[in-house]
Chains A and B, each alone.
Chain A
Amino acid sequence: AQTVTQSQPEMSVQEAETVTLSCTYDTSESDYYLFWYKQPPSRQMILVIRQEAYKQQNATENRFSVNFQKAAKSFSLKISDSQLGDAAMYFCGFNTDKLIFGTGTRLQVFP
């Protein structure tokens, strides 16, 4: 079975600090993409960052970076210099022939 586990239902961080959201997944496929999506209270799911499984180099998008450990099937998201606008639900997922999501982590950012 293909599954995604986000073990942290809620996380909080102080503005300007760094936070890491964890994600583990399970698949028998070797070719897949991994994603982090953000869903703010406005509800629109926005792609934050993506990683191709065949690439060893960790993806980075401005303040967002991932720690991809393929053997451990781990795909954590690090948010540096957190901002109030980062407050949202964050969903980890991977895509082989369809997109599988975790249950999400709610991130609160305190001023």
Chain B
Amino acid sequence: ETGVTQTPRHLVMGMTNKKSLKCEQHLGHNAMYWYKQSAKKPLELMFVYSLEERVENNSVPSRFSPECPNSSHLFLHLHTLQPEDSALYLCASSQVSGREQFFGPGTRLTVL
């Protein structure tokens, strides 16, 4: 596979569930990002990993927990989410020194 992939593409979960979103990049990049996309809002940057270390956390609630085991993989662990967390979650990657980000297809998350 090429580019940035994300699984699952759709996820429905209850507020008490625990689930994880997965992102994988095949571009040889060394920085990865999680974004949240809600209707009629700009993309919100959630987390940035550069060279596998978290460099930014934009005041995201602790019910979202990222993990970056290596430069190709990024996870977003979810627990006790709220209905307002329903959104499209996008993963992106880039070179650390690069300005251009490449996005995955996203996971559509619905919290019941």
Categorize the interface residue count of chain B. Answer: 20 to 34
Q: Give chain B residues whose Cβ lies under 8 Å from the Cβ of A104.
A: 42
Q: Is the interface of A mostly helix, strand, loop or mixed?
A: strand
Is A35 located at the chain interface by the 8 A CB criterion?
yes
- Chain A, 27-80, CB within 8 A of any chain B CB: 32-33, 35, 37, 42-47, 50
- Chain B, 15-44, CB within 8 A of any chain A CB: 33, 40-43
Q: Is the CB of A45 within 8 A of B103?
A: yes
Q: A44-B104, A44-B106 are in contact. Are A91 and B56 (CB under 8 A)?
A: no
Measured CB to CB, the residues of A under 8 A from B are: 4, 32-33, 35, 37, 42-47, 50, 91, 95, 98-104
A104 to B92, CA, bound (A): 18
Q: Is the CB of B56 within 8 A of A43?
A: no
Q: Is the CB of A98 within 8 A of B56?
A: yes
